[in-house]
Amino acid sequence: MIKRIFDWLKQPLGLIAVGIAVLALFSLAAYGIYTTQQPPEQPIQFPHQTHVAFGIQCLYCHPGAAKGPAAGIPSQAKCWGCHNQIAKTQTSLLLAPLKDAVTSGTPIEWVPVAQVPDFVQFNHRAHIAAGKNCEDCHGDMSKVTIAQNPQVFNMGWCLNCHVETAGQDHEKLVKLSDCGTCHY
């Protein structure tokens, strides 16, 4: 039975059909990749640039970056610490979801923007300790509302920086390019 299918595929019409199928698959896959690269919908259109413009440090809201693996999304208690003293919070349409969440005691469901796959053990702390700044990877937050990724967080990109950082120090290079550094 399968032989008959292959025979049919080998004639010109069959080859065209195979071509169309391959093209369709390829387009679907390309579309799939495209959709995953779009910034997802957030519950609040959070303006990073406004907060940076007020002079708030990244680590004020994301202190985990200096302490552990995840930078963390701030708790709404932290948001409210400032916002309950800001008159605009009571009236602003943009801030209504925050007000609702705090008064009703429901958590806000944020969509993380910068993510690496589960098989990568990324730790912020080591990077901050090595003197990296947040914007080196996450871009200039004074220019964006919702965070955007200035680059794809893939392994080549990670390794480029690791190799550059190691420079001529061979021992460091071994450590920084070892598989087990990130995949364990």
Partner 1 sequence: MSEQFSRRDFLKLAGVGAATTAILTGCGPASRYVKREPYMQMPEYNYNGQSTYYATTCRECAAGCGLVVRTSQGRAIKTEGNANHPLNLGKTCARGQATLQGLYNPDRVTNPMKRASRGADSTQAMDWEAAIQAVADALKNNKPEEIAFLMGMAPDHLFDLVTDLAKATGMNAPVRFGALGMFDARATLSKAAENLFGQASLPFFDVGGAQVVFSFGANFLETWLSPVSYTRGFAGLREAQTKQRGKFVQFESRMSMTGGKADEWLPLRPGTEALVALAIGRLAAEILGGSMPRVFASVDPKDAATKSGIKLETLEHLAEMFASSNGALAIPGGAALGQSNGLAVAEAVLALNALSGNFGKPGGVYLSALAPNQTEYNRPASAREMQALVQNMFDGKIKVLFVHGVNPLFELPASLEFGGASKYVSQIISFASFPDETAREADFIFPDHHGLESWGYQRVATGSAQPVLSGAQPVVSPYYNTRATADVLIAAAQLAGGSFAAALPFKDEVEFLQSKIASLMSEADGSISGPDIATFMAYFQQHGGYWKLTDGRGAPSAEDMLNRTIAAEEAEFAGEGEFFFVPFVSPTLAEAGANKPWLQELADPTTTVMWNTWVEMNSETAHELGIENDDMVKIVSEAGELEAPVYVYPAIRPDTIAMPFGQGHTAFGRYAEGRGVNPADLLGSHFNEAGDLAFAGMKVKVTKTGEKKLLSRLESVMGVYGIGLGEEK
H or E element at residue 3: helix 2-10
Given 12, 55, 117, 131, the residue binding partner 1 (CB under 8 A): 117
Q: How far apart (Å, rounded) are the C-alpha atoms in residues 39 and 147?
A: 8
Nearer to partner 1, 2 or 13 (CB): 2
Question: Smallest gap, in angstroms, from Cβ of residue 172 to partner 1?
Answer: 25
Binding-site member from 75, 84, 90, 133 for partner 1 (CB under 8 A): 75
**How far is the C-alpha of 19 from the C-alpha of 170, rounded, in Å?**
49
Torsion angle, CA of 94/100/103/106, rounded to 10 degrees?
-120
Per CB under 8 A, the segment of 35-43, 50-58, 91-99, 169-177 that binds partner 1 is 35-43
The tokens describing 85, both together, are: 């003293």
CA–CA dist 5, 21 (Å, integer): 15
- At position 91, the amino acid (one-letter code) is T
Between 19 and 112, whose beta carbon lies closer to partner 1? 112
Where does this chain touch partner 1 (CB under 8 A) — which range of 23-31, 89-97, 138-146, 160-168?
23-31
Which of residues 32 and 131 has its CB atom nearest to partner 1 in the complex? 32
Note whether 112 binds partner 1 by CB under 8 A.
yes
Shortest Å distance, C-beta 53 to partner 1: 23
- The answer to whether residue 110 forms part of the interface with partner 1 (CB under 8 A) is yes
Calpha distance 175→43 (Å, rounded): 40
CA dihedral 69, 49, 79, 107 (to 10 degrees): -70
Place of tokens 């049919």: 8
| Contact between 111 and partner 1 per CB under 8 A | yes
Query: 3-class SS at 111?
Result: coil
Per CB under 8 A, residues contacting partner 1 are 1-2, 25, 28-29, 32-33, 35-37, 40, 62-64, 67-78, 101-102, 105-112, 115, 117-118
